Amino acid sequence: MTRRTNILLNADWLTIIIYLVFVLFGWMNIFAANYNEQYKNIFDLNQRYGMQLIWILASFVLAVFVFVIDSKFYSFFANLLYGITILFLIFVILVGREVHGARSWVSIGGFNLQPSEFAKFTTGLVIAKYLTTIDVKISRLKSILVLFGFIMLPAVLIILQPDVGSAMIYFAFILVLFREGLPGMVLLLAAAISILFLSTLMYPKIFIIITLIILAAIIFYFLNKKAKYLFWGIIIFLIAYIGFFLLNKYNYFNSTTLVRILLTLVVSSAVYVIFAIRRSIQHVLLILLFLFVLIGFIFSVDYVFHQVLQPHQQTRVNILLGKESDPLGYGYNVNQSKIAIGSGGFTGKGFLNGTQTKFDFVPEQSTDFIFCTIGEEWGFWGAGLVILLFGGLLVRLIYLAERQRSAFSRIYGYGVFSILFFHFIINIGMTIGLLPVIGIPLPFFSYGGSSLLGFTLLLFIFIKLDASRLSVLR
Amino acid sequence: MDQYSARRYIVTALVLLVVLVYLIRLLYLQVIDSTYKLSAENNSKRIEILYPSRGLMYDRKGQLLVYNQAAYDLMIAPYELKEFDTIELCQILNIDKESLITGIKKAYNPKHRRDPFLKQISPETFALLKEKLYKYSGFYLRSRTLRKYNREIGSHLLGYVGEVSEEMIGNNPYYEMGDYIGISGLEKAYETQLRGEKGMNYFLVDVHNKIKGPYQNGRFDKDAVVGKNVVCTIDADLQEYGEKLMKNYSGSIVAIEPSTGEILTLISTPSYNPSLLVGRPRTLNYNKLKNDTLEPLFNRAIMARYPPGSIFKLVNALVALQEKDVTYNTQYYCDMGYYARGIKVACHNHDSPLNLPQAIQHSCNAYFCNVFRSIMEDRDFKSVAEAFNNWRDHVLTFGFGNRLNTDLPNELNGFIPQASYYDRYYGQNHWNALTILSMAIGQGELLITPVQMANMACVMANRGYYYIPHTVKQIQELDTIDSKFLEKHFTSIDTGFFNTVIEGMELAVNGGAGSTARIARISDIIVCGKTGTAENPHGEDHSVFIAFAPKDNPKIALSVYVEHGKWGASYAAPIASLMIEKYLTGEISNSRKWIENRMLNDNLLNKK
Ligand SMILES: [Zn+2]
């Protein structure tokens, strides 16, 4: 028995079969989405479905190629691969081809590729590599900062393209870090920050800041259980506020309510800290630190939302949050998407019989909204099966990751899982109207060479690592 | 293996949670909530509605009265709008940018895929727009037809067409927003025949509303059916002449062919030009007309409930003859009026005593007070109330008290009280013939519409029966009109008694000196008529006249009511006679031109 057959025997064929089902079913749906009377040939290379076939074949070649290469290659060259993709990301910002207002494409040998699709697996590799380096412990601040650096670097470069949707996917790696020991508090904090993030978009800043101050006061009380300390804090705060209020009223220092509250908070905090140090009151500094960090976060979200996000992205978020009603504009996409999926019913309209996707009612129906075609033509059983299969694949990836002997393979496996999981959540959540419209593809289904090649690489590197897990020394 | 490996379960639980939530959401979207299926149908199917042209209307002699003119609405499909040159479009449509924007905003209604943006655009605008329309995605032209009138006549009779209200749409699924419907007159009465049937072409369209082909190979497509033409019973020339005569008076003329019940003219004045209620200025004009104190929109011919005055003496005479309370020869004295128990009904100077035809000739109030008493105090009945109800039963058979059920919408019923009405008012057995004596001469509680008066003239002409008056003679492709219009309605009075009354009516016109309606006399034609002067507590009395002619084999029966015209002989009778002469001979003889001139030149509208 050669080593080669060994590898094939050890490969996780369940994952490969799900991959094949996804890719081929996706191809059928791209065909259905673009099908019309004039172009009936699924192999027509002038049509998207013909092109997708080429990409599928290329992906298979790539998958074989991944299998041929020695598994140590990926851990050994992780930093180099990461560096190359970063260079490509910089390169693309400078001289990339602009499509839909974003510079995210480079031409390589006549094909247009998106480096952002390949940066996902290299980031996964580099995290795995770094975390398995001696001296690196997730409990160390320095290690965490380096890790966040690795994650943020490609994300920031992608934001600069600008393609915020693709950049958001890099948040997925927080799941990897969580599995590797990042305190659960951080995950909770991330969830809390998400809530704060959404509130900032939905409600006036002053309202959120006052809520935060009140929350801080309540937490402070429960930590110290002394009403006296809280009482003095409130008194100091009120005196400071009245002072600023009077200054404003008599035109000595003009300010808005928001500015007054912030100044009051700064002044009264400073006074209270001195008071607290003298009386040696606990927890004051920590709570105030959190409070100011969160307020800083609110302002930076506000800044990002209004200065960094594209107007159409702002609108999309606003519609999802119910702040804007714009049936023709961006709510239109979501609405059309829901109509297409909803019209499928339980059994669907049948292959090639969809009217909503076929007649272009759904935008981007072969890329980001491919799930609509599935929902319309294959109904609840088809779309539900896709969701179940995705769930199955994700759970299988967790299982595979956990059975690795090498930490590198496990961490990379979690990286693969996290990236696919986030794509799954965001893409399908968007088409069924649960999440904002964020233009990212559904892995293996959506039309597009870069994303298919990228996901194939991402997945098959892990399958290869898994297949050769027994040959890896502990 | 490592201390955090238990966290795999948290991560796995997250996956399962998301899968579960998404499956439930999918189940809801696809299986439970059906709204999205309906939206999908509307999304991909475009219905092109084919509007049929509305049926034409002709008069009884085949003259075209109402026809159609093409018009176009500019429609907007807000969800198909693309960027366009607003300045150019504003210039073409001759509107400012602000109204363009408000118009577009208004159109955003999830229930309507398309809305009218600008209705009935002018032909010049249409020509300009047609060439440039390809630049304005989301704008469409919809062809409509507008009513045009050959003559400015018959506005009340013909009625008008307008857009359906939300309420009408709710009642009838045929109609959609922006459709036209007959709102009054014949347009309303014969709406289903006139409108035809809308046709529909179903197309599959993409999001750009580009047609991708017929929906299900055109299985549901339907051609439009053109509206049916309608031939009215109206004589357009007589109608026009009557409107000319009445233009300075407030009132009504209704002329009917007695042998068929076909309405020859139906005039209500003040009137309006039917063209005012067509097209874009309709709403403006309608409101103007609605607020006019002369009430030009009020169709007096079928809606005004007037006291009939002395013409009602004919009915009382017939009832008394039928009940054997009087005969041809019954005579009553008259000394300038009727006096009984402190009641006085004045009369004018004439010979005395008179028999029944002579009493009609002179319209003697005293005579008919006696007649009415004899009816009410008839020994055959146990009480006045019983006699009264018997009288009422007779009266109803003339077509009074209830709607005649003509084919005109909004006809009113008039009023003939029941005995119980007086029981309530005076108390049972606390009233008698004298209490209600004013009805002897057509006053009191009696209320009758002009069309009912004209119908009464028909009853006289036919010696005892009538056909329900109607305005449509023939509907294209239909063999017959509604059978109810072909049925004789007999009164409860024997035919023989009518000769007595008709003799009186003949004398009233042709009886020489002392006859109340001498002015209505036409040489060579025996006109039978009866004047009336309806007391009006609010001002000058109303002038009333009913007549038919010729006496034998009558061709026309009519009622004329001139508000504030004082005596029946002063306006109503001359106008009626002119109408008869015009209809029967086609012109007014020279000897009677002075009457025509007087009627045309006098004016009661500005007096009041
Ligand atoms: Zn008398």
Average of pLDDT values for B398-406? 92
- pLDDT score at A21: 95
Min Cα separation B95/chain A (Å): 24
- pLDDT score at A99: 64
pLDDT at B340 over 90: no
Q: By the 8 A CB rule, do B517 and B508 touch? A: yes
Torsion sign (Cα): B568, B572, B578, B582: negative
Residues A184 and A207 in one domain: no
Residues A181 and A52 in one domain: yes
DSSP H helices in A330-369 = 330-343
Choose the final residue of a domain: A278, A309, A340. A309
Burial class from Cβ neighbours inside 10 Å (0-12, 13-18, 19+) for residue B399 reads buried
Structure tokens at B545: 């006249």
Residues A157 and A233 in one domain: no
Structure tokens at A151: 């994650």
- The number of folded domains in chain A is 2
Q: Residue A378 falls within a domain, yes or no?
A: yes
- pLDDT score at B39: 62
- pLDDT score at B94: 82
Inter-chain touch A339–B27, beta carbons under 8 Å: no
Choose the final residue of a domain: A283, A309, A335. A309
Identity of the amino acid at A333: N
Q: Residue A193 falls within a domain, yes or no?
A: no
pLDDT at A1 over 50: no
Q: Residue A196 falls within a domain, yes or no?
A: no
Cis, bond preceding B550 (omega within 30 deg of 0): yes
Counted residue by residue, chain A has a size of 474
Inter-chain touch B3–A332, beta carbons under 8 Å: no
pLDDT band, very low/low/confident/very high, at B206 (cuts 50, 70, 90): low
Q: Could you give the angle at the alpha carbon of B163 between the alpha carbons of B162 and B168, nearest 5°?
A: 110
Q: Residue B389 falls within a domain, yes or no?
A: yes
Q: CA separation (Å) from A65 to A9, A12, A59?
A: 17, 17, 9
Helix (H, G, I), strand (E, B) or coil at A16: helix
Q: Token pair 């398995």 is at which residue?
A: A132
Which structural domain, as residue segments, surrounds residue B461? 236-289+303-607
Residues A375 and A286 in one domain: no
- pLDDT score at B502: 94
Average of pLDDT values for B575-588? 93
The model carries a pTM of 0.57
Q: What burial letters (b/e) apply to A187-225, b meaning 16+ CB within 10 Å?
A: beeeeeeeebbebbbeeebeebbeebbeebbeebeeeee
Which structural domain, as residue segments, surrounds residue A256? 203-309
- The helix or strand, by DSSP H or E, that contains position A66, with its residue range, turns out to be helix A48-68
Q: Residue A316 falls within a domain, yes or no?
A: no
Q: Residue B364 falls within a domain, yes or no?
A: yes
Q: Cα(B513) to centroid of ligand 1, in Å?
A: 15
How far, in Å, CA of B426 to CA of B420, rounded?
Answer: 10
CB pairs under 8 A between A and B: 128
Average of pLDDT values for A437-446? 87
| pLDDT tens digits along B589-600 | 999 999 999 999
Q: Shortest CA distance to A267 belongs to which of A246, A296, A288, A290?
A: A288
Residues A302 and A352 in one domain: no
Question: Ramachandran region of residue B94, left (φ > 0), alpha (ψ -120 to 50) or beta?
Answer: left
> What single-letter DSSP state applies at residue A133?
S
In A, residues 356-375, which contact B (CB 8 Å cutoff)? 356, 359-361, 375
Average of pLDDT values for B343-352? 85
Residues A348 and A403 in one domain: yes
Q: Which residue from B1, B15, B31 is facing A395, i.e. has the nearest CB?
A: B15
Q: Residue B112 falls within a domain, yes or no?
A: no
Give the lowest-confidence range in A117-131, A153-167, B257-271, B456-470. A153-167
In A, residues 148-187, which contact B (CB 8 Å cutoff)? 175, 178-181
Q: Shortest CA distance to A463 belongs to which of A424, A413, A399, A418?
A: A413
Average of pLDDT values for B8-31? 91
Inter-chain touch B30–A338, beta carbons under 8 Å: no
pLDDT at A322 over 70: no
How far, in Å, CA of B151 to CA of A389, rounded?
Answer: 77
Give the lowest-confidence range in A252-261, B237-246, B370-379, B425-434. A252-261
Identity of the amino acid at A331: G
Q: CA separation (Å) from B430 to A316, B51, B376, B426?
A: 83, 64, 14, 6
How far, in Å, CA of B510 to CA of A141, rounded?
Answer: 126
Structure tokens at B454: 């004209």
Q: Which residue from B31, B81, B206 is facing A380, i.e. has the nearest CB?
A: B31
- The helix or strand, by DSSP H or E, that contains position A130, with its residue range, turns out to be helix A115-131
Tabulate helix, strand, coil % of chain B (nearest 5).
Answer: 40, 20, 40
Instruction: Write the DSSP string, A282-329.
Output: SSHHHHHHHHHHHHHHHHHHHHIIIIIS-HHHHHHHHHHTTS---TTT
Q: Residue A357 falls within a domain, yes or no?
A: yes
pLDDT at B213 over 50: yes
Average of pLDDT values for A338-366? 72
In A, residues 12-41, which contact B (CB 8 Å cutoff)? 36-37
- pLDDT score at A251: 76
- pLDDT score at A331: 53
Residues A217 and A91 in one domain: no
Q: Shortest CA distance to B371 belongs to which of B351, B354, B396, B385?
A: B354
- pLDDT score at A324: 47
Q: Residue B39 falls within a domain, yes or no?
A: no
Min Cα separation B197/chain A (Å): 29
CATH number of the domain encompassing residue B532: 3.40.710.10
Q: Cα(B568) to centroid of ligand 1, in Å?
A: 16
Give the lowest-confidence range in A64-68, B419-423, B533-537, B586-590. B533-537
Q: Which residue from A360, A384, A395 is facing B26, i.e. has the nearest CB?
A: A384
Q: Residue A473 falls within a domain, yes or no?
A: no
Q: Residue B363 falls within a domain, yes or no?
A: yes
Q: Residue A339 falls within a domain, yes or no?
A: yes
- Phi first, then psi: what are they for B9, rounded to 5°? -70, -35
Average of pLDDT values for B71-82? 76
Q: Residue B262 falls within a domain, yes or no?
A: yes
- pLDDT, averaged across chain B: 86
How far, in Å, CA of B465 to CA of B260, rounded?
Answer: 11
DSSP H helices in B377-494 = 384-396, 419-426, 450-461
- pLDDT score at A325: 44
Strands annotated E in A85-185:
97-99, 102-108, 111-113
Q: Which residue from B5, B15, B27 is facing A394, i.e. has the nearest CB?
A: B15
Average of pLDDT values for B39-64? 79
pLDDT band, very low/low/confident/very high, at B211 (cuts 50, 70, 90): low
Q: Shortest CA distance to B68 belongs to which of B122, B141, B143, B175?
A: B143
Q: By the 8 A CB rule, do B225 and B54 touch? A: no
Q: Which residue from B25, B33, B108 is facing A434, i.e. has the nearest CB?
A: B25
Q: By the 8 A CB rule, do B156 and B299 touch? A: yes
ipTM for this model: 0.80
Report chain A residues whose CB lies below 8 A from the CB of B138: none
- Phi first, then psi: what are they for B561, rounded to 5°? -130, 120
Identity of the amino acid at B47: I
| pLDDT tens digits along B551-566 | 999 999 999 999 998 8
Report chain B residues whose CB lies below 8 A from the CB of A344: 30
Choose the final residue of a domain: A309, A335, A352. A309
The three-state DSSP-derived secondary structure of B200-258 is: EEEEEECCCCCEEEEHHHHCCCECCECCCCEEECCCHHHHHHHHHHHCCCCEEEEEEEC
Q: Residue B241 falls within a domain, yes or no?
A: yes
- pLDDT score at B545: 94
| pLDDT tens digits along A188-245 | 777 777 778 767 776 778 888 888 888 888 888 888 878 888 888 889 999 998 988 8
Q: Does A329 touch chain B (CB under 8 A)?
A: no
Residue from A343, A352, A404, A414 whose CB has the most chain B CBs within 10 Å, to mutate: A343
pLDDT band, very low/low/confident/very high, at A329 (cuts 50, 70, 90): very low
Residues A401 and A378 in one domain: yes
Residues A335 and A437 in one domain: yes
Share of chain A above pLDDT 70, in %: 84
Q: Shortest CA distance to A37 belongs to which of B211, B187, B353?
A: B211
B interface toward A at CB cutoff 8 Å?
Answer: 1-5, 7-8, 10-12, 14-16, 18-19, 21-23, 25-27, 29-31, 33, 35-37, 39-41, 43-44, 78-79, 81, 108, 110, 204-208, 212-213
Counts for chain B of helices (H) and strands (E), in that order: 21, 20
Nearest-Cα residue of chain A relative to residue B28: A342
Q: Residue A271 falls within a domain, yes or no?
A: yes
Residues A428 and A338 in one domain: yes
Q: Shortest CA distance to A15 belongs to which of A393, A316, A292?
A: A393
Cis, bond preceding B270 (omega within 30 deg of 0): yes
Q: Does A378 touch chain B (CB under 8 A)?
A: no
- The number of folded domains in chain B is 1
Inter-chain touch A395–B35, beta carbons under 8 Å: no
Torsion sign (Cα): A295, A296, A297, A303: positive
| pLDDT tens digits along B111-162 | 455 677 887 787 778 878 877 777 777 787 777 778 889 888 999 999 998 8
| pLDDT tens digits along B465-500 | 999 999 999 888 887 788 889 999 999 999 999 999
Q: Which residue from A180, A398, A428 is facing B22, i.e. has the nearest CB?
A: A428
Residues A162 and A271 in one domain: no
How far, in Å, CA of B209 to CA of B434, rounded?
Answer: 79
